[in-house]
């Protein structure tokens, strides 16, 4: 084998490839081929350039060059300075954890590190399958216990003191972790042979999907307490969380249904022919295939749920967006809305983009020949 190669190399040495003709290489050619090919594209390119030139320098000057990075609010009120990033620095803690007591701050920090740890274990595929699911199911309980306390020696921190990014992540994480299994059950219920289960699942899904999330939040937060008997006090946060889970699970169910329909009938029939019981057919044959089909829209729903948590602002919970807004109302720091919202947009983007990247990674990593 190696002899043959050596002989071949000795007898035939290919010439190095010629460089492309001058007029087909270089930045000028690329620009001509991609930016200025034809009248319409030329006009669009020029318009885009105009837009970039008119916006970007001002933005860079405001956000970076003239920005104030430290100091108090006085330093930001000088004429001619740009963005006041020291505003974010001064309010960083309340943006992250709301009005959580300082001396207990290690608890949300530890919860966050645990979250990062589980994410790392999942992404690096160090734990897989049922163990990974178990990790994710246990995590929210540990986080709730760490942050809320009240058991096993941790002093209780009332939920009225939870806030900031911590609250948004908690609402989203618990929402996703509970609503995915619930959505799968609802989707299976839609295909059930029993008319009672089928009708109740369909009507639940269709009712919830026919109502905007904001209405559900208002119902949960404003109307529900009027119906509950006096003294039966389900706290605001829990009511909101349940509302979000119900909303999200109806949408998850529709996504999963698409996946179930895409699994060929032959799969179920083959499993039946092997004599597998219903639950094994579902959990080992149908659902894994169905979920793989709908991974992109499922990740999409998770991202949407995380962004939807910002709606809780209107029912008085100070989540990340609520805290961003509230910190601009501090009489010491009035008038820095732009900085606040730019920072907020960046953090939301960071979280959503990470989720989306992981979704893409999952799609490409999985077995392709699953049909």
Partner 1 sequence: MHKIKTAMLGLLLCGALPATAGTLADIQQKDELTCGVSEGTPGFSNPDASGRWVGLDVDICRAVSAAVLGDQEKIKFVPLASKQKIVALAAGQVDMTSRTTTWTMKRDTKEGVDFTAIVYYDGQGFMVNKALGLTSAKELDGASVCVTTGTTTELNLADFARANGINIEAVVFEGKKEAFNSYKQGRCDAFTTDMSQLASWRSTLPNSDDHVILKDVISKEPLSPLVRHGDNQWKDAVTWVINGLIEAEEKGVTQANVDQLASSSQDPTIQRMLGVSGDMGGYIGLDQDWLKRAIAAVGNYGEIYDRNLGENTRLKLDRGINSLWSQGGLFYSPPIR
The answer to the question of residue 102 lying near partner 1 (CB under 8 A) is yes
Min separation Cβ 21 and partner 1, Å: 57
Using CB under 8 A, pick the residue from 129, 229, 275, 277 that binds partner 1: 229
Q: How many residues does the chain have?
A: 371
What does each C-alpha distance from 298 to 1, 116, 135, 175, 351 come to in angstroms? 50, 21, 20, 13, 16
The answer to whether the CB of 358 falls within 8 A of the CB of 299 is yes
Q: How far is CA 35 from the centre of its chain?
A: 35
Is the Cβ of residue 15 or residue 329 nearer to partner 1 in the bound state? 329
CA distances from 250 to 34, 207, 290, 312, 351 (A): 45, 9, 17, 19, 23
- 236 near partner 1, rule: CB under 8 A: yes
Q: Which is nearer to partner 1, 193 or 230 (CB)?
A: 230
Q: Which is nearer to partner 1, 163 or 297 (CB)?
A: 163
Helices (H) and strands (E) in the chain — how many of each?
A: 18, 0
Binding mask 244-283 for partner 1 (x = CB under 8 A): ----------------------------------------
Binding mask 27-66 for partner 1 (x = CB under 8 A): ----------------------------------------
Instruction: Give the separation between CA 290 and CA 259, rounded to whole angstroms.
Output: 4
For partner 1, the closer of residues 136 and 333 by Cβ is 333
Nearer to partner 1, 184 or 216 (CB): 216
CB contact set of 222 (below 8 Å; sequence gap of 6+): 315
Based on the shown chain and the rule CB under 8 A, indicate whether residue 156 belongs to the binding site for partner 1.
Answer: no
**CB closer to partner 1 out of 57 and 335:** 335
Minimum Å distance from CB 229 to partner 1? Answer: 7
Near partner 1 by CB under 8 A: residue from 68, 83, 84, 91: 91
Window 317-356: contact mask with partner 1 (x via CB under 8 A): xx---xx-xxxxxxxxxxx---------------------
CA distances from 39 to 23, 35, 46, 317 (A): 20, 10, 11, 53
Crossing angle of helices 129-148/106-123, nearest 10°? 170
Instruction: Work out the angle between the directed axes of helices 320-327 and 164-190 (0-180°, nearest 10).
Output: 150
The answer to whether 148 contacts partner 1 (rule: CB under 8 A) is: no
Name residue, tokens 């299976």.
Answer: 188
Among 64, 123, 222, 238, binds partner 1 (CB under 8 A): 222
Of 171, 139, 177, nearest in space to 240 by CA: 171
DSSP at 84: B
With contacts defined by CB under 8 A, name the span among 149-157, 217-225, 279-287, 298-306 that binds partner 1.
217-225
For residues 344 and 321, the answer to whether their CB atoms sit within 8 Å is yes
Please report how close the Cβ of residue 217 comes to partner 1 at its closest, in angstroms.
10
Asked if 129 is part of the footprint of partner 1 (rule: CB under 8 A), the reply reads no
Number of other CB atoms surrounding residue 258 within 10 Å: 14
Rounded Cα–Cα distance for residues 85 and 92 (Å): 10
Distance CA 222, CA 245 (A): 18
233 near partner 1 (CB under 8 A) = yes
| Subset of 277-316 contacting partner 1 (CB under 8 A) | 313-316
Among 191, 204, 218, 358, binds partner 1 (CB under 8 A): 218
Residues that bind partner 1 (CB under 8 A): 73, 77-79, 90-91, 93-94, 97-102, 158, 160, 163, 218, 221-222, 225-231, 233, 236, 313-318, 322-323, 325-335
């Amino acid at each position: 084998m190696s002899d043959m190669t050596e002989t071949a190399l000795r007898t035939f040495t290919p010439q190095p490839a010629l460089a492309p003709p001058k007029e087909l290489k270089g930045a000028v050619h690329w620009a001509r081929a991609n930016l200025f090919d034809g009248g319409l594209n030329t006009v669009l390119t020029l318009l885009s350039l105009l837009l970039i030139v008119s916006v970007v320098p001002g933005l860079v000057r405001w956000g970076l060059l003239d920005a104030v990075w430290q100091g108090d609010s006085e330093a930001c009120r000088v004429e001619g300075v740009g963005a006041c990033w020291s505003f974010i620095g001064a309010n960083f803690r309340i943006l992250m954890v709301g009005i959580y007591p300082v001396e207990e701050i290690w608890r949300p920090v530890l919860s966050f590190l645990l979250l990062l740890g589980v994410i790392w274990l999942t992404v690096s595929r160090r734990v897989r399958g049922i163990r990974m699911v178990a990790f994710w199911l246990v995590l929210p309980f540990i986080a709730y216990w760490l942050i809320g306390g009240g058991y096993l020696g941790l002093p209780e921190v009332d939920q009225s003191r939870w806030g900031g990014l911590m609250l948004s992540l908690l609402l989203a994480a618990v929402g996703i972790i509970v609503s995915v299994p619930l959505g799968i059950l609802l989707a299976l219920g839609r295909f059930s042979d029993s008319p009672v289960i089928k009708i109740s699942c369909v009507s639940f899904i269709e009712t919830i999907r026919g109502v905007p999330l904001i209405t559900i939040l208002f119902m949960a937060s404003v109307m529900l307490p009027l119906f509950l008997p006096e003294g039966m006090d389900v706290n605001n946060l829990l009511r909101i969380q349940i509302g979000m889970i119900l909303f999200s699970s109806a949408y998850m169910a529709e996504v999963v249904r698409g996946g179930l329909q895409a699994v060929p009938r032959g799969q179920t029939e083959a499993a039946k022919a092997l004599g597998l019981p219903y639950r094994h057919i579902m959990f080992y044959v149908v659902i894994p295939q169905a979920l793989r089909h709908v991974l992109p829209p499922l990740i999409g729903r998770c991202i949407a749920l995380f962004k939807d948590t910002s709606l809780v602002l209107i029912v008085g919970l100070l989540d990340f967006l609520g805290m961003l807004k509230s910190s601009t109302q501090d009489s010491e720091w009035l008038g820095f809305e732009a900085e606040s919202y730019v920072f907020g947009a960046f953090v939301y983007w960071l979280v959503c983009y990470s989720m989306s990247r992981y979704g893409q990674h999952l799609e490409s990593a999985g077995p392709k020949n699953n049909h």
